Amino acid sequence: MFTGIIETLGEINRIETEGTNVHFTIASAISSALKIDQSVAHNGVCLTVVKVDDSTHTVTAIAETLAKSNLAHLKVADKVNLERCMQMNARLDGHIVQGHVDQTAQCILVTELDGSWEYRFKYDPSLGNVTVEKGSICVNGISLTVVNSTTDEFSVFIIPYTHENTNLHQVMVGDTVNLEFDIIGKYVARLMGRKD
C-alpha cells in the first residue's frame, strides 16, 4: 500500500532481459536502505526488490506488468519516481494507492502557467475506468487531483515542488504514463454496473 507521495527519484543504471522478464537496476538515495523482498513503487508500479548493492537496487517486471505499464519504454538513464510502502503509523498525505497500474495514458498537453503546469492526459475509456472532478488519480505513482474530467481525458495541475521532485518534468506531449484510478471510484463504478 502506498500514498502517491514520491520519496525520491531513481535513475535506471541497467536493464537486462531474461525470457519475458525484465530486470531493472536503479540508483537512488534510498536504494542502500532497501531490503530484498521489500515492495517499492516505481512510476506507481509495485515491484519486489530482488537485489541490493551499496547505491543500487534491482527489481523484476514480468510480461503482464510490462504490458500494462510504461516500464517497457524505460531506457538506461531514465528517471523513475520511487516510493516505499506506507507505514501504518504515518500520515496518509496523498490517497490510498495500491501500486497496481490500471492502464496507461498519453500526454496530450503540457502548459506552463507562470508558476504551475497543466498536464492533460487521454486514456482508453473502454476499460471502464473513470475520473471525477476533484477526485484522486495516480500518474506515474504521483497522487494528484483531477480537473477538467471527461470520459476519456483529464487534466492535473502541478506545483513547482512536484514538477522538480518527480519525473513529470520529463513528460512531454506524446509520452506514455501509468495510471492507477482511485480505488473507491473503482468499487463504486463496479457496483454501478460498469466493467471493471
pLDDT value, residue 194: 55
Phi, psi (5° rounding) for residue 142? -100, 125
Residue 50 near residue 85, CB atoms below 8 Å: no
Nine-digit cell string for 110: 503540457
Question: Which amino acid is located at 93 in the chain?
Answer: D
pLDDT value, residue 193: 72
Distances (CA, A) of 116 to 133, 161, 189: 19, 10, 32
Domains of the chain (ranges; CATH) run: 8-84 (2.40.30.20), 103-191 (2.40.30.20)
The span from the first CA to the last CA of the chain, in angstroms, equals: 20
Angle at 147 between CA 146 and CA 152, to 5 degrees: 80
**pLDDT, one tens digit for every residue, the chain (196 residues):** 898 999 999 999 999 999 999 999 999 999 999 999 999 999 999 999 999 998 999 999 999 999 999 999 999 999 999 999 988 777 767 778 888 999 999 999 999 998 899 999 999 999 889 898 999 999 999 999 999 999 999 999 999 999 999 999 999 999 999 999 988 877 777 777 755 4
Distance CA 32, CA 144 (A): 28
In this prediction the pTM is 0.86
Distance CA 194, CA 127 (A): 9
Nine-digit cell string for 119: 498536464
pLDDT value, residue 196: 45
Distance CA 94, CA 81 (A): 15
